[in-house]
Chain A
Amino acid sequence: MLKESQIEDGYDEWKSSLGMERNSDFTTLSGKPVETLYTPLDIASEDYARDIGFPGQYPYTRGIYPNMYRGRLWTMRQFAGFGTARDTNRRFHYLLDRGMTGLSVAFDNPTLMGVDSDDARSLGEVGRTGVAIDSLADMEVLFEGIPLDRVSTSMTINAPAAILLAMYVAVGEKQGVPAEKLTGTLQNDILKEYIAQKEWIYPPKAGVKLVVDTIEYTSKHLPKYNPVSVSGYHIREAGSTAVQELAFTIADGMTYVEESMARGLPVDSFAPRLSFFWNSHIDFFEEIGKFRAARRIWARLMRERYDAENPRSWLMRFHTQTAGVSLTAQQPENNIVRTALEALAAVLGGTQSLHTNSMDEVLALPTEKAVEIALRTQQILAFETGVVNTVDPLGGSYFVEAMTNRMETGAREYFDRIEELGGVLAGIDAGFFQREIADAAFDFQEELEDHRKVMVGVNEFVDESPIDIPILKIDPEVEREQVRRLRDLKAQRDNACVAAKLEALRDAAARDENVMEYLLEAVRAYATIGEMSEAMKPVLGVYREPAFV
């Protein structure tokens, strides 16, 4: 082992021998400078036990389980959902037959916004970017033939998440599956909506109240269910840097923890079921550093700041999706390569589940062939490359450890600034996050235009070949059919019962009660998402977008 002084001498000698560098950008995707070389000197203050540790042990830098993928591979969970519930159900069976191990549901824009398919604002949007769900009737069709006690379902929904959860429970009831047996994840991270994805109904305080309602309800009735997937994916897609993604997401997580504790829930009663959702972008090592730092930061916060005692409260479980925003419409086959590399970063970063994007996702919802390739990408990673043979293979790399440290430092600087503002809700109100993201997005665009950053096929290595990937087009009949179904439902159900349930729901919200039981009642009576969302508006308010551009 070289002594530190010997390394320093060697380093100086090496440094003086450096030749000219290429005229290229040696910063990360987020603009952070990267050194030519990393040595033990860069991580000299690291204490292996304190900072790196062992997988499955605090602070979990190397992974949350002792043997990670040798014990169990990540879940290969491909997002799906389009058209009617019947179409999506068919796609689910297709994927399950081909080896997918968990379901992930994408909803259409009206559903995401808590709006019914026959609403004027839904015009042209029903069933386009996901499945249209208006009522329990649609959910029943969606999961037909799929036993909810044997399949884990992730639902990517936020503003009306509590309603969808109630529907999921109700479908389980109809199948004879008790709530305690249901497994899955609800995205249900409303804070990032105000920051990045912009799918909201109520103002932030009310939005958080509903999230805490679901946390409370699942901690008591759905012990196997993850009520919140605190998300960085969308923040990154909106244009943030890697550090911003890391910091803002964890700050959101902290807010949910604090709000839940403020309601009297002991931290260990719900924290083990919080999970995260990260983006895996194209700058390979920056992403790996980000994932490792995320685990370490969260573990430290949960233990030191929130005094969680159950180790399962300390460990950060997360799902990852490869970066949609890194994909290009030009030369779309290149996207297969990008996705594969981003997936590799996620695996080397220790993700628990992974969605790989399809190459044609830039233009429209993916075709079956493209989806298959995306799934095979994960299977090749898992079964051919050997990267799963050992835990955290990059641990100990001077560069990766330095990058991990730098990510944590950067995140903590943001935590300080957010605290000065008065917390995440105050920050949202002040437009802090939105401005940081808009600035980063604009800066990146300028870097692209100046060719300081390269996107192959877009601003370099361009060719004139036409785009001829077959594009999946949604039949406009889908919207008409869905509207018809909805109309029939409204005619056939007991409307007096629905009205009574909606009123009870509104009253419960007014009394600041947990609304989950009332939502369940309304769901069972076949109230629609739009009706339930509207019912709570007079009490919870309506959000108006702040004027920041």
Chain B
Amino acid sequence: MTNAAPNSLVTGVLGGNRRAAGRAISRIEAGGSQAEQLAREIFPHTGTAYVVGVTGPPGAGKSSLVDDLAQAMRDGGNRVGIIAVDPNSPFSGGAVLGDRIRMTRHVLDEGVFIRSMGARGHLGGLAEATRNAVAVLDAMGMDIVLVETVGVGQSELEVAETADSTLVVIPPGLGDSVQALKAGIMEIADIFVVNKADHPQAERTMLDIRDLVHMDRVKRPWTPPIVKTVATEDVGVADLWIRIQQHRQYLERSGLLEQKRRRRFEREIVDIAERRVRERLLLPAAESDTFRGMLDRVVRREVSPYEAAETLMPVAAGRNR
């Protein structure tokens, strides 16, 4: 089935065939025209799944939490897709993807699909490949898709852009450095989760987050709740699931879900366009003799990089000077 035309893969995915879904996601990850073709064909069949992003610094226990959440969601009658993203090594390009170790109990559940993805260092590509993987699971019939990423690089922001509800999971014991958490991470949270809440410092961490949230309250009508969990003991997870559902209801009733998704498509379109411009126009243009000549002049300090960049535009637009 390696070289099966995208058509039959799509049919398989729509029919809930797991092999087809696994294959489809691989094709998505590989990028290129076959990936785009597949994404195009899948697209009309998406829109049902509700996407929950789970992010936060390493050591927060996200995998256990996702495992527990999936159970709570299953108990509620939902089919659940899980995408666990880990960074690839910038040196070797490889990765060890170990998040599913925590989710063994769901492996044989027909209503759960778990996929591990390496971020593969794509420029903004995390978002595109993940988005399309989510789309595959959506088209396959998943009611909820959980996307878990570890909080390094830009991944949290990218997850927030893909998700309807974003959970930021914080381990206790960070002390004063809750403030030190990357600036963006506090703004993207729809729900805060303090996991390992049986830790002596958990209460302190909660208070620190509450302070930050209060300072921020003026700007947003939805005040992110702070939920305490002990994922290893399945404590607090039912409460968390309720909060997620509350957030969803809030988004739906206020019309914000539509707005969010609209903005998401806008960003997605621009992302794709940017990528294409880069791949098809800018990079080839940078190979041109005109450009190389300009580069030499920059090196000799005859012109500035700004003027050189300008020359990429007309070459890119296909007009010769």
**Residues of A participating in the B interface, judged by any CB pair closer than 8 Å:** 203, 422, 429-430, 541, 544-549
Contact = CB atoms under 8 A, between A and B. Distances in A.
Contact of A544 (B59, B98, B104): B104
A546 B105 CA distance: 13
B104 A547 contact: no
Contact of B96 (A203, A546, A549): A549
Interface in B180-238: 196, 200, 232-233
Nearest to A542: B105
A547 B101 contact: yes
B64 interface: yes
B99 A547 contact: yes
B194 to A, nearest CB: 15
B248 interface: no
A203 B233 CA distance: 9
B210 to A, nearest CB: 24
Contacts of B59: 430
A98 B102 CA distance: 48
A420 to B, nearest CB: 11
A485 B96 CA distance: 44
Interface string B122-148: 000000000000000000000000000
11 contacts: A203-B233, A429-B196, A429-B232, A541-B233, A544-B232, A545-B104, A546-B101, A546-B102, A547-B101, A549-B98, A549-B101
Nearest to A203: B232
Nearest to A548: B98
B165 interface: no
B156 interface: no
Nearest to B99: A547
B63 A547 contact: yes
A547 B102 contact: yes
B67 interface: yes
Q: Looking at A203, A544, A547, which has the most chain B CB atoms within 10 Å of its CB?
A: A547
A190 to B, nearest CB: 16
Interface string B96-132: 1011011011000000000000000000000000000
| A-B pairs with lowest CB-CB distance, top 6 | A547-B98, A547-B101, A549-B98, A549-B96, A547-B63, A547-B102
A421 to B, nearest CB: 10
A interface, over-half SS = loop
Contacts of A429: 196, 232
Contacts of B101: 545-547, 549
A441 B302 CA distance: 57
A544 B233 contact: no
Given A430-B59, A544-B64, A544-B67, 15 more contacts: A203-B232, A422-B200, A429-B232, A541-B233, A544-B102, A544-B104, A544-B105, A545-B101, A545-B102, A545-B104, A546-B101, A547-B63, A547-B99, A548-B98, A549-B101
Interface of B: prevailing SS: helix
A430 to B, nearest CB: 7
A203 B101 CA distance: 16
A64 to B, nearest CB: 38
B169 to A, nearest CB: 14
A548 B105 CA distance: 17
A548 B96 CA distance: 9
Interface string B51-71: 000000001000110010000
A188 B64 CA distance: 27
Contacts of A546: 101-102
A429 B231 CA distance: 12
A434 B51 CA distance: 33
B55 to A, nearest CB: 16
Nearest to A430: B59
B125 to A, nearest CB: 24
Contacts of A430: 59
A430 B199 CA distance: 12
B218 to A, nearest CB: 37
A277 to B, nearest CB: 28
Contacts of A549: 96, 98, 101
B150 to A, nearest CB: 11
Nearest to A545: B101
A545 B107 CA distance: 14
Contacts of B104: 544-545
Most chain B beta-carbon neighbours within 10 Å: one of A203, A422, A544:
A544
B179 to A, nearest CB: 22
Contacts of B96: 549
Contacts of B233: 203, 541
A469 B146 CA distance: 53
Interface-centre pick from A430, A546, A548 (highest chain B CB count, 10 A): A546
B115 to A, nearest CB: 15
Contacts of B67: 544
Interface string B61-88: 0011001000000000000000000000
Which of B63, B105, B200, B232 counts the most chain A CB atoms within 10 A? B232
Contacts of B196: 429
A541 B200 CA distance: 22
B318 to A, nearest CB: 50
Contacts of A547: 63, 98-99, 101-102
Contacts of B99: 547
A482 B229 CA distance: 44
Contacts of B232: 203, 429, 544
A518 to B, nearest CB: 23
A544 B61 CA distance: 12
A201 to B, nearest CB: 14
A295 to B, nearest CB: 34
A546 B65 CA distance: 12
Nearest to B234: A541
A545 B105 CA distance: 11
Contacts of A203: 232-233
Contacts of A541: 233
Contacts of B63: 547
A429 B64 CA distance: 12
Nearest to B173: A422
B101 to A, nearest CB: 5
A546 B233 CA distance: 13
Nearest to A431: B59
B72 to A, nearest CB: 16
Nearest to B201: A422
Contacts of A548: 98
A429 B104 CA distance: 18
B35 to A, nearest CB: 28
A385 B102 CA distance: 53
